[in-house]
Amino acid sequence: MIVVTGAAGFIGSRLLHALQARGYTDLVAVDDFSRADKAANLAGVVLSARVERAGFPAWIDANEARIQFIFHLGARTDTTEFNKAIFDELNVHSSQQVWERCAKYAIPLVYASSAATYGDGALGYSDSDDALPFSLQPLNPYGESKNEFDKWALAQREKPYFWAGLKFFNVYGPNEYHKGRMASVVYHAFRQITASGAVKLFRSHRPEYTDGGQLRDFIYVEDVCNVCIFLMELRKHSGIYNLGSGTARTFLDLARGVFTAMGKPEQIAFIDTPADIRDKYQYFTEAPMGKLRSIGYDAPFHTLEEGIADYVQAYLLKR
């Protein structure tokens, strides 16, 4: 069995679709399945079992002999949530329970970390220095929770025989429709252009960046799935890995890509970044990808324009 937590969510559901497309058939989905707005994400995936999130640790204990791999992608990902206790429970404690069972039962594990761990980027974005997470200063409780688990994992004497923590950068693509405010800028731009013919981007509040010139490393979700499956099949070289495209692009580039994919003329305006996230806003992220490349991952990543075109034309315009 291949188990995916956060299975009804964005990346988890796309990974299940990708695994099934590659011929993997004994698939188990773990999530809180009470949200009707996420049900469509699993349409077409044939599952061996659905496991409620709260009972997952006990389920591992009962089924460990049959589990071949766990992708632990379930997490609270809201960067605008500031209740630390929520993140401690969902992103740290529950992840520790999964890790400890994978170590005990020799189950290989890939878990979701985040580029939010890097904070404002002042210390760089290296995934090759295992000491760096102990110095990082994330900008919000979500990033703190992901970094706390990274530090905990690195400090453990008992580890799964293979494990990888993936620092996801700005992931976009199909099945993020339920995420509301936390959906990608690509999705929000598409919806704005559909409704009004125009898109609004956040104004820069730092003089070294022009409006719309803020830079992020955007990665298409299909590339994320390809890397996850590569690591599952390789099962060597444990550690923490960046997972971005390796190239920072501006939000203006992104908006223009959406207009092009939709065949619409550009109309771009700027609004102030909301006050509740302004001081916690990352102006630049870029993933050095040398570590992943060094272990044999040689597939190209979608360019921003290629990813947007596929997402818009193959999914968003057909909804």
Active-site residue, from 84, 151, 179, 291: 179
Per-residue model confidence (pLDDT) at position 77: 59
Question: Is 3.30.230.10 the CATH classification of the domain at 2-169+219-246+288-299?
Answer: no
Torsion angle in degrees (nearest 10) through CA of 201, 202, 205, 211: -10
Q: Which of 111, 142, 172, 311 is catalytic?
A: 142
318 is catalytic: no
pLDDT for res 76:
67
* 304 CB-contact burial (10 Å; exposed 0-12 / middle 13-18 / buried 19+): buried
Q: Do 130 and 156 contact (CB within 8 A), yes or no?
A: no
Tokens standing for residue 258: 């959406």
Full pLDDT tens readout for the chain, 319 residues: 999 999 999 999 999 999 999 999 999 999 999 989 999 999 999 999 999 999 999 999 999 999 999 999 987 656 656 667 777 778 889 999 999 999 999 999 999 999 999 999 999 999 999 999 999 999 888 899 999 999 999 999 999 999 999 999 999 999 999 999 889 999 999 999 999 999 999 999 999 999 999 999 999 999 999 999 999 999 999 999 999 999 999 999 999 999 999 999 999 999 999 888 888 788 999 999 999 999 999 999 999 999 999 999 999 999 9
Please name which of 215, 185, 213, 210 lies closest in space to residue 200, comparing C-alpha atoms.
185
For residue 79, the model assigns a pLDDT of: 60
What is residue 80's predicted lDDT score, i.e. its pLDDT?
59
Q: Is 118 a catalytic site residue?
A: no
Question: How many angstroms separate the CA atoms of 112 and 10, rounded?
Answer: 12
